Amino acid sequence: MASPLQGIRSIRDLPIEQQRLFLRVDFNVPLEDGRITDDSRIREALPTIKHAIERGARVVCASHMGRPKKGPDPKLSLEPCAELLGQEVTLPEDCVGDAAKKVVFDLRAGQVCLLENLRFHPEEEKDDDGFCRQLAQLADVYVDDAFGAVHRAHASVHGLAKLFRDRGCGFLLEKEIQALGTIITSPEKPFVAILGGAKVSDKIAVVDSLLEKVSALVVGGAMANTFLAARGKNMGKSLVEADKLALARTILEKAEAKGVDLVLPVDVVVAASTQAGEGDAQTVSVDGVPADKMALDIGPRTVAEIAKRIGEAKTVFWNGPMGLFERPAFARGTFAVARAMADSRAFTVVGGGDSAAAVHAAGEDIAKKMKHISTGGGASLELVEGKKLPGIEVLRTGETA
C-alpha cells in the first residue's frame, strides 16, 4: 500500500537555508472581540515555523481568516495571531504589492513576517492565476502546513504551489496526512468509527466511505435521532430530519449487508428544551422518549456499549459530539466517549471542528492522550470520505516523501 505521503517532500528535505519561504498556515482561529478563543491551530504550526527559523529561512507566513465578503475587514485581520508566534513578526498591511514586497525583501535569515488575510483579495478563493503570480514573487520555496484549508482549491493552497519546483509540506500537514491517511488506507482492525453531530446529511459521504472499512459504526448525537426514528422509535420533540428517514434506512440496510455492527443509542438524556438545567434532565430508554421531551445526550447504557467497542478496537476514528456538550447537563456522554478513547490503546484519531473542541472541553489530560486530534474540520471529513484534496495533490512532485 502506497504511503499517503507518496511524492510529497517534507520541509526537512527542502533547500530553505537563506531562502524566502512561503509558509501557508491555517490561522483561521475563532475570535471574540478581537481575542483568540482557541489557539490550537497556531500552536500546531509552531514546530514548522521554528524549524524554518533555525535553518535560517526568511519566513513569509500567510493565512486566511474568516470569510470576508467585500475586501479588507479590520475585524478579520491576522494581527492578533502575530503575537503568538513567539518572536517579533512584521505584518504588512496587504499580502501582495509593494507593502508586502518591502517587508519580505527586508527579512534577514531567521526572521518572520505574517502577510495580511489572503481573503481580503477575492482572487484568493478564485484560484486566480494573476494573484498566484503576485504571491509567488514573494518567495523561492513553498511549504504548506495549512491542513484546515487543503480541501479548498484556492490560490495560496493550490495555484501558487504549482509555480514552485521546491514545494512540500510542513510538520503539521505531514502528521495530518499520515494519521488520517492511515484511517482510510490501512486501519488496523477492529476499526471503530464514532459519528455524531446534528445532521445525517452532513455525514452521508463519510458514512458511505466508513462502511467499507469499519468493524463497528457508532452513531450518536442528534443524527442518531433520525436513525432511531427510521427504526420506528418515537423520538418526541427531538431533532429528526424527516426528509432523511429513507436515507437512514438505506444506511442501516447497507450496514447489515456488509456485516458492520451499527450501534445506535439504547438510552438518551432528555429535557423539554436545550436550555434545561441538570435538574430538568432525565435519562430514558429510546423506547420511552416522552412526547414533550427531546434527546440531548446519550445515556449511561449507551456509553457502556460504546466504551466496550472502543476497548476492543485497534483503531478508533471519532467525528461529531454525542450531544449538546456545551451545556453541562448534556455533556456526560460526549466526555465519557472522549475518556474511553483516551484510556484505550488503539490508534485514536479525532476529526477536527466540534469534536476537537469537545475533547479539549473534556479535559487537557484526555486531549493529550489522543494519538491525533485533527486541526481540520471540512478537510479531515473530506479526506476520510476518500476524496483527493487539491491542496495535497498539488504537492505531489513524483519525488519520494
Residues that bind ligand 3PG (CB under 6 A): 26, 28, 67, 148-149, 152, 377-378
> Cα angle vertex 26, ends 23, 29, to 5°?
145
- Least Cβ distance, residue 28 to ligand 3PG (angstroms): 3
- Least Cβ distance, residue 11 to ligand 3PG (angstroms): 20
Question: What nine digits make up the cell of 128?
Answer: 486566480
H or E stretch at 285: strand 282-285
Instruction: Pick between residue 68 and residue 196 the one whose CB is nearest to ligand 3PG.
Output: 68
* Annotated active-site residue in 327, 378, 386, 387: 378
Instruction: Pick between residue 260 and residue 357 the one whose CB is nearest to ligand 3PG.
Output: 357
Work out the burial of residue 165: count CB atoms within 10 Å of its CB; fewer than 13 is exposed, 13-18 middle, 19 or more buried. Answer: exposed
- Least Cβ distance, residue 36 to ligand 3PG (angstroms): 13
Instruction: Pick between residue 80 and residue 378 the one whose CB is nearest to ligand 3PG.
Output: 378
- Least Cβ distance, residue 148 to ligand 3PG (angstroms): 4
- Beta-carbon contacts of 329 under 8 Å, excluding residues fewer than 6 positions away, are 269, 271, 276, 277, 278, 280, 281, 296, 297
Question: What nine digits make up the cell of 103?
Answer: 517587508
* 371 belongs to the catalytic site: no
In order of 218, 324, 378, 395, the CA distances from 321 in angstroms are 12, 7, 15, 32
Work out the burial of residue 246: count CB atoms within 10 Å of its CB; fewer than 13 is exposed, 13-18 middle, 19 or more buried. Answer: exposed
Compute the distance between CA of residue 372 and CA of residue 316 in angstroms, rounded to an integer: 11
- Least Cβ distance, residue 91 to ligand 3PG (angstroms): 19
DSSP state of 34: T
* Annotated active-site residue in 170, 353, 376, 391: 353
* 332 belongs to the catalytic site: no
- Beta-carbon contacts of 283 under 8 Å, excluding residues fewer than 6 positions away, are 267, 268, 269, 270, 299, 300
* 199 belongs to the catalytic site: yes
Compute the distance between CA of residue 154 and CA of residue 152 in angstroms, rounded to an integer: 5
Compute the distance between CA of residue 212 and CA of residue 191 in angstroms, rounded to an integer: 11
Contact call for residues 62 and 22 (beta carbons, < 8 A): yes
Contact call for residues 95 and 123 (beta carbons, < 8 A): no
- Least Cβ distance, residue 223 to ligand 3PG (angstroms): 20
Compute the distance between CA of residue 5 and CA of residue 342 in angstroms, rounded to an integer: 27
Instruction: Pick between residue 194 and residue 357 the one whose CB is nearest to ligand 3PG.
Output: 357
* Annotated active-site residue in 20, 41, 203, 339: 41
- Least Cβ distance, residue 307 to ligand 3PG (angstroms): 30
* Annotated active-site residue in 126, 133, 199, 387: 199
* 167 belongs to the catalytic site: no
Parallel, antiparallel, or unpaired: how do β-strands 294-298 and 267-271 relate? antiparallel
Active-site residue list: 41, 199, 353, 378
